[in-house]
């Protein structure tokens, strides 16, 4: 937005429109809107100075570097989400819009979010390492191990000055005073602490004197907890021979160690609570199981007693049982005799009646047999007479047939001529010269050649 005023000395330009004149408030408001449109939300790094917390809950401070400074304000609605208390000289990064405080014409930052300097880079490194380790399978649920139900020895890795150690020991002493605790002291913050934490975890894994291992540290900033975002610590937890519980920071703090560990606890105290069930709970559970067992045994005894009474009621003396069986056997014997004798008598009666009816129904066959014998004699005589007559007639026909047989004719000196096709020669017209003919006589055959045919003589 560009605004300008043109001044005409000595009344010059009186024919043109009068120039627009802005008030100071309008000017500051216009500049403020111009700044807000021109600069979106931006991360700005600097050092805190002149930090003031108003009764309203708003924060007022100056953000500066080596050569410049700018006023800034963070309203209560945003300030309540900052997870640390800003102090003079803190190096921070703020996410803010650029504006103008119109009442005084002061250029200032309207801060939306604040974090310690370098947190952005640390968080980016945290995300990269988390993504890489997840791709390598270190976070897979399949490799997570179950916590032992009755641990005998518990290991704790933390700093000797840490309040987390006192919290863990107090919790364990209250819940499971019988468990032996092995403490692997190490630095949990500062330069070289990540390597020391990893070494302590590997030492506990190598010694294998614990059933479960607690890695603990109290709450803090991202920089304070950064040792637990180190790849060496993550690999040491993944290679540990015993289940590992991660109890680092407060409930809202999340580290790489939490993802790699078999169980993640929101606080060190919660880690101690997860590691061991209180002995009171075990005794209460055992007492409840004992009561359940007594009730079950009592029900079983009642059921068995009732069954025994029922069986005793059904039980009778062997003599009575034998007499009952004898009586039953006698009854069955009588029923068997009756069942076998009665049908037999009835069948015999029916057979006698059928025999009598058959005798009365049989016809007198003597006359029929005499007639049959006479007919058989007549049939034999007729057959013999017919046979003799047919034999005589057959002999006569056989004699006639013999007279007409071709072989008999040939035996009387006749012959049969036939051409090459087997056709019998009956006329001289069927013969040509020269020609070979077949000659058949009574005893064999021969071939003759025709050299000449004599003419017919009328």
C-alpha–C-alpha distance, residues 437 and 446, integer Å = 9
Provide the CATH number for the domain formed by 125-281 in this structure: 3.40.50.10550
pLDDT at residue 18, as a whole number: 54
**Do 125-281 and 18-117 fall under one CATH topology?**
no
- Report the SS3 class of residue 74: strand
Which of 172, 256, 257 is CA-nearest to residue 216?
A: 257
pLDDT at residue 124, as a whole number: 75
R_g of the chain, CA atoms, integer Å = 68
With beta carbons less than 8 A apart as the criterion, state whether 168 and 218 touch: no
pLDDT tens digits in sequence order for the chain, 458 residues long? 333 333 333 444 444 555 688 888 888 788 878 877 777 888 888 988 888 988 888 999 999 988 999 999 999 888 888 878 888 888 888 999 888 887 787 888 999 988 877 666 677 788 888 889 999 998 898 989 988 888 889 999 998 888 888 888 888 888 888 889 999 998 888 888 889 999 999 999 999 999 999 999 887 777 778 889 889 999 999 999 999 999 888 877 788 889 999 999 888 888 888 888 777 777 777 888 888 888 888 888 877 877 877 777 777 677 777 888 888 888 888 888 888 888 888 888 889 888 888 888 877 778 888 888 888 898 888 888 888 888 888 888 888 887 777 777 777 777 888 888 878 877 877 777 787 888 888 778 888 888 877 776 54
pLDDT at residue 14, as a whole number: 44
pTM of the model: 0.45
Which H helix or E strand runs over 263? strand 263-264
Domain boundaries, the chain: 18-117, 125-281, 398-458
The 8 Å CB, 24+ separation contacts for 55-62 are 59/86, 59/111, 61/86
pLDDT at residue 407, as a whole number: 72
Instruction: Please state which CATH class domain 18-117 belongs to.
Output: mainly beta
125: Cα within 13 Å, side-chain hemisphere: 13
**Residue 361 has which token pair?**
């129904």
CB atoms within 10 A of CB 94: 23
C-alpha–C-alpha distance, residues 396 and 30, integer Å = 163
pLDDT at residue 60, as a whole number: 92
CB atoms within 10 A of CB 236: 26
pLDDT at residue 10, as a whole number: 43
In order of 112, 118, 129, the CA distances from 63 in angstroms are 14, 16, 32
With beta carbons less than 8 A apart as the criterion, state whether 46 and 65 touch: yes
C-alpha–C-alpha distance, residues 162 and 150, integer Å = 27
Which of 249, 281, 278, 247 is CA-nearest to residue 173?
A: 278
C-alpha–C-alpha distance, residues 283 and 106, integer Å = 70
- Report the SS3 class of residue 188: coil
């Amino acid at each position: 937005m560009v605004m300008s005023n043109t001044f005409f000395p000595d009344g010059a330009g009186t024919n043109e429109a009068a120039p627009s004149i802005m008030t100071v408030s309008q000017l500051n408001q216009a500049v403020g809107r111009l700044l807000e449109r021109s600069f979106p939300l931006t991360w700005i790094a600097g050092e805190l100075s002149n930090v003031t917390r108003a009764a309203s809950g708003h924060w007022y401070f100056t953000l500066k570097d080596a050569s410049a400074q700018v006023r800034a304000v963070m309203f209560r609605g945003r300030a309540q989400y900052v997870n640390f208390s800003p102090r003079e000289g803190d190096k921070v990064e703020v996410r803010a819009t650029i504006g103008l405080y119109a009442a005084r014409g002061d250029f200032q930052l309207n801060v939306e979010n604040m974090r310690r300097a370098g947190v952005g880079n640390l968080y980016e490194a945290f995300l990269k390492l988390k993504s890489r380790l997840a791709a390598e399978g270190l976070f897979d649920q399949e490799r997570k191990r179950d916590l032992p139900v009755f641990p005998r020895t518990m290991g704790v890795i933390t700093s000797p000055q840490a309040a987390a150690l006192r919290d863990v020991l107090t919790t364990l002493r209250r819940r499971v005073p019988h468990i032996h605790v092995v403490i692997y002291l190490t630095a949990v913050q500062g330069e070289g602490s990540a390597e020391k934490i990893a070494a302590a975890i590997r030492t506990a894994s190598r010694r294998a004197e614990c059933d479960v291992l607690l890695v603990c540290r109290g709450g803090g900033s991202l920089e304070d907890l950064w040792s637990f975002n180190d790849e060496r610590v993550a690999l040491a937890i993944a290679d540990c021979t015993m289940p590992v519980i991660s109890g680092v920071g407060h409930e809202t703090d999340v580290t790489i160690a939490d993802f790699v560990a078999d169980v993640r606890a929101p606080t060190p105290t919660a880690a101690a609570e997860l590691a061991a069930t209180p002995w009171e709970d075990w005794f209460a559970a055992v007492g409840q199981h004992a009561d359940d067992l007594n009730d079950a045994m009592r029900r079983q005894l009642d059921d068995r007693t009732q069954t025994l009474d029922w069986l005793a009621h059904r039980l009778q003396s062997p003599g009575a049982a034998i007499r009952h069986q004898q009586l039953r056997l006698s009854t069955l014997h009588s029923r068997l005799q009756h069942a076998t004798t009665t049908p037999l008598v009835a069948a015999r009666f029916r057979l006698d009646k059928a025999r009598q009816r058959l005798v009365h129904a049989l016809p007198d066959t003597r006359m029929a047999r005499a007639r049959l014998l006479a007919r058989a004699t007549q049939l034999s005589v007729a057959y013999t007479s017919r046979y003799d007559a047919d034999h005589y007639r057959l002999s006569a026909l056989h004699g006639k047939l013999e007279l007409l047989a071709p072989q008999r004719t040939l035996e009387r000196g006749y012959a049969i001529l036939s051409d090459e096709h087997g056709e019998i020669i009956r006329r001289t017209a069927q013969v040509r010269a020269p020609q070979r003919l077949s000659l058949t006589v009574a005893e064999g055959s021969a071939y003759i050649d025709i050299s000449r045919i004599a003419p017919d003589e009328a």
